[in-house]
Structures are given as C-alpha cells and as structure tokens.
Amino acid sequence: DAGVTQSPTHLIKTRGQQVTLRCSPKSGHDTVSWYQQALGQGPQFIFQYYEEEERQRGNFPDRFSGHQFPNYSSELNVNALLLGDSALYLCASSFYALGQGGNEQYFGPGTRLTVT
Amino acid sequence: DQQVKQNSPSLSVQEGRISILNCDYTNSMFDYFLWYKKYPAEGPTFLISISSIKDKNEDGRFTVFLNKSAKHLSLHIVPSQPGDSAVYFCAASATSYGGATNKLIFGTGTLLAVQP
C-alpha cells in the first residue's frame, strides 16, 4: 500500500522564479492538503483540494496556487518566489467522508525548497 | 495568533519512564485533536487522535487526554523508548458538517529525547 509520495525531494530556485511541486495521495484517498513548514515551526495550512476544486484556503497570497487531477494527485505552484518561501512543503492526503468529522491526514516526506 | 500552543520546546526522559507532552488551544470550535511524530527529513506521522466527545483515547503505549474546560490535551507515552525520540506536534481542527476534511492547525512542536 503506497503512502503519500512527493517530488522532488529538494529544490533550489532563485528569487522571482516559479516552482511546481507534486504529490500523489495514499491509495484510497481523494483529498489533498498542502502545508508549509518553516524552520522551527509547525506546518501551516496552504489549501485543500477535493474533486479537482480548491475547498479551503489558509492565509497565503495568490502567488500560491494548486491543481488536482482526476487521479487525485495534486500540484502546488508558487510564482514570483521570495526568500521567505524557503521551507519544507508537505502534502497530506485524506478521505472525504460525508457527515464525519474525523480528520486523520497522512503526510508525505515533503519537498525542501530553498530560494536564493 | 497562535491557536495551538506547545509551550515546552523540548523534553528529556529516561528510557522506561513516562513521557508527558502538553498542548493548549484557544479556539473553542476545535473538536478534533491529533498528535503527530516527526523525524528529521521525514513528513509527520499520525500517532493518535481524540474527538471532543471523549476525554481519553488509548493506543498501545500512547494515550491522549483531553480536558475541554481547560482547553488542554496531553500525550502520555509509557514506557518511553529511545526510538520515540522525535519532534511531536499537536494539531487541532474544527468540523465542517459538509464532511470536508478540515484544515489542521499545528503547534510548534516539542522535541522529545529519550535517554537510554
């Protein structure tokens, strides 16, 4: 049973460039959430995708955008990179269960983005 | 505005003893709480969760206690093992009755070191 996978593992970009990160959810999961974890902090919610639509969004600028594909995989795009975007980007998958509040999300290993 | 707080950045415990990790929250809408463990260079691993309708949940060596009136939860690990050494994150969410998997709000983490 494959868990959540992310690519690439590491990435170095220059300020002003654009980056795309990829995520494949755990088998059987249909919802993908993205989080940003800065050094010494807990993960912060960026947004969530279900049925190829953005369902929830955290306090991140429009430079952060995403997409979900019919096979439930997802991409996170960041435009006009800033030095402050350097962080670990985590993808989490879960199952959309109507009427239930249970919320276990399973995380991938993350992509370490460094902006120079 | 830190809605989930882990006030102890680190904790050191002897092997075989009990580890107690604490977490406080401020948002009374939170009704589901989770603990994650994170090793360096890996994504967070789900450990245990608790719904606000309960005050205790056990899974093997791990027990989570919830005190809603105090807006406090704790994770007990008994007995502690060297392999438990990791950063532990507390996370909380508020149910949306549309069934969506809700965003997790994380604390800043506690580094647990279990000494042999």
A104 domain residue, yes or no: no
Q: Is the dihedral of CA A30, A39, B5, B116 positive or negative?
A: positive
A12 domain residue, yes or no: yes
Higher local confidence (pLDDT), B40 or B60: B60
A53 domain residue, yes or no: yes
Structure confidence at residue A92 as a pLDDT band (50, 70, 90): very high
Give residue B24's domain range: 4-115
Structure confidence at residue B41 as a pLDDT band (50, 70, 90): confident
Torsion angles phi and psi, residue B80, rounded to 5:
-75, 145
Asked if the model's pLDDT at residue A49 lies above 70, the reply is yes
CATH number at A57 reads 2.60.40.10
A106 domain residue, yes or no: no
A92 domain residue, yes or no: yes
CA atoms of A60 and A87, how far apart (whole Å): 14
Beta strand pairing status for A64-68 and A53-57?
unpaired
Report the pLDDT value the prediction gives residue B95, as an integer from 0 to 100.
75
CA atoms of A62 and A40, how far apart (whole Å): 25
Mind telling me how many Å the CA of A100 is from chain B's nearest CA? 6
Q: What torsion do the CA atoms of A37, A35, A105, A51 make, to the nearest 10 degrees?
A: -170
Asked if the model's pLDDT at residue A70 lies above 60, the reply is yes
Q: Describe chain B by its helix, strand, coil percentages, rounded to 5.
A: 5, 50, 45
Give the DSSP H/E element, type plus range, for residue B22.
Answer: strand B19-25
The arithmetic mean of pLDDT across residues A35-52, rounded, is 93
- Say whether B104 and A104 touch across the interface (CB within 8 A): no
What's the pLDDT tens digit per position in B44-96? 999 999 999 999 999 999 999 999 999 999 999 999 999 999 999 999 988 76
A105 domain residue, yes or no: no
CATH number at B19 reads 2.60.40.10
Residue whose structure tokens are 């989570």: B64
Measuring CA to CA, which residue among A100, A78, A95 is closest to residue A87?
A78
Asked if the model's pLDDT at residue A103 lies above 80, the reply is no
Give the one of B32, B42, B101 whose C-beta lies nearest to A48's C-beta.
Answer: B101
Give the one of A42, A96, A108 whose C-beta lies nearest to B101's C-beta.
Answer: A96
CA atoms of A114 and A42, how far apart (whole Å): 18
- Say whether B104 and A4 touch across the interface (CB within 8 A): no
Give residue A47's domain range: 5-99
- Say whether A102 and B89 touch across the interface (CB within 8 A): no
A111 domain residue, yes or no: no
Domain count, chain A: 1
Domain count, chain B: 1
